[in-house]
Amino acid sequence: MGESEAQRPLYGRLMKAIDVQHTWGNRVGFVKLPLIMLDIRLYGGAIAQFYMVTEALEAQLERHADHKLVAHVRRAIALPDLAPGYAADLRQIFGDGAWPAPTAATDEYVDALRRAGPVELVAALFILYGALVVGGGKQTQRKVKRLLPGCDHVLFDVSEDMRAARRRFKNAFTSIGKDHAGVAAVAPECADDLVRYASLYMRRNNAVVLSVRVTPGWFWPAVAVGAAAVAVAVARRRR
C-alpha cells in the first residue's frame, strides 16, 4: 500500500503545502525584482519589510524558548538570529535615521506573529528562515552585491557551511514526530497544524512581497534605459 500523507516525512509535507503559494510568489518576484534592483533604496525598502517580520518572529521565539517544539527546532537548526543581518544592511543603506515604514501587509504579519502560539511560530520560522537557508549563502551574497554594490548584503551570510545548514534545517523538521533511538518523539501531535500554518504564512509572505514599492520618484523618465540594463544583469545572474 502507498504511504499516506500523514506518514510522509514532515519536511516533505511542509514543502508540498507551500508549493502553490511559493510558485506564485516566485512569479511576482520575477516581475518585481528587476524594478527593485533599479535603486538600492527600493531594495532597502523591500528588505526592511522582512527585517520587521523576522525581528518580530525572533522576539516571540525567545518568549517561548522553553516550549519543547520551539526549543527542538532552534537547537536543531543551530543558526543565530537572522534579523541582525537585515539590520546591518539597512544601516548601510539608510544610516541610523528613519528606515522605511511597514506596509499594511507587514503590519498584519507582525500582529499575527505577536498573537501566535509556539506551533504557529515554528511554522513561520520554516517560511522566513527557509528562504535564507535555501537561498542564502556567500554565493548569493556575491551575486547580489554585483547588482547592488551599495551595501554588504549581510542578510545572506547565514552560515559558513550552507550545505550543512540546509541539512540541519531539513532534519530539524523531518525529525518532528519521530522516535529517535528510544528518545520520545517531539510533538507528533503538532504535525498537521504545522502544515496548515506553513501554508498560511507563505500567503502572508506573498502579501508582503506584493505590498513592496517598486517605483522610485525618477522611475518613469528612466524606465526604458534602466529596465533594459537590469534585465540584462538579472539574466546573467540566472545563468
pTM: 0.82
Residue 187 pLDDT: 65
pLDDT tens, 44-83? Answer: 999 999 999 999 999 999 999 999 999 999 999 999 999 9
pLDDT tens, 116-170? Answer: 999 999 999 999 999 999 888 998 899 889 888 989 999 999 999 999 999 999 9
CATH class of the domain comprising 5-237: mainly alpha
Q: What is the mean pLDDT of the chain?
A: 81
> Which alpha helices (H) appear in the chain, and where do they start and end?
10-36, 40-63, 68-77, 83-94, 104-115, 118-135, 138-147, 162-174, 191-211, 219-237
**Every domain of the chain and the residues it spans:** 5-237
pLDDT tens, 87-103? Answer: 999 999 999 889 999 99
Residue 59 pLDDT: 98
